[in-house]
Structure 1
Amino acid sequence: MKKILLLVGVGIGYILGAKAGRERYDQIAGKANEVWGNPKVQEKVEEVKAQAPEVAQKVGDVAKDAASQAKSKVTGHEATGVDGSYENATGAVDGSTGDTVVDTTGFGPGGDKLP
C-alpha cells in the first residue's frame, strides 16, 4: 500500500512539475485512464471493496481490545483475553496452557507483615 501511495505521489509531482505542457499531461492522463479501465485492475478494485468492511471490523476489534488491555494495565484492574487468559494486579492465568502466575509480594496487610 505504501508503494502505491509513493507511486501516486511521484506521478502527481511529475505532472505538476512537468515542463512538457498539456500534451504530456494528456498522454499521462490517458495512460492512467487506460490502466484504471483495465478489467484486471477493476476486478482487484472490486475484491478490495468487498473485503473492506470485514477488514475494517477486524481492525476495529483489535483496536478496542488493545485499548481495553491498556486501560486495564493503567488502572490496575483485571483483563480477560479472547483466548481465555486472565490478568489482574495479583496474578495471571495463561489461557492456552492454564499456567498461573501469582504475585505474592502484595498479599495480606503488607508483604513485610506476612509470617
Structure 2
Amino acid sequence: MKRIVFIVGVAVGYLFGTQSGRRQLEKLRVFASDVWADPRVQGYVQEYEAQAAAFAKQQGAALWEKAVDTAKSATSGSTTKYDEPVEPLMDADDANPAH
C-alpha cells in the first residue's frame, strides 16, 4: 500500500510540478474533452440519464409511500414493532430545566 501511495505521489508531482508534466496533463484534458464531446458517448449519456430519471421517479414514489406509512404509524400512538411503548427522547422538563 505504501508503494502505491508513493507512486501516485510521484506521478502527481510530475504532472503538476514539471513543465513537461503539465503539457501531458493538458493533452490528457483535451483528449478527455474530445471523448466527452463524441456523439456516441453523448448518446450513452442521454440514455443513462433517462434511465436514472425513471429510476428516481419510481423510487421516489416508493419512498414517499414508505414515509407516509411510517408517519401514520408513528402518529397513531401505536407501539413499536417490538411491542415496546414509544417514549419521547426528551420531555418538556428536560428541554428547559431552569423553569
TM-score range, shorter chain: 0.3 to 0.5
Q: With CA pairs under 8 Å and 6+ residues apart, which has the higher RCO, 1 or 2?
A: 1
Higher strand share: 1
Relative to the length of structure 2, the TM-score reads 0.48
Higher helix share: 2
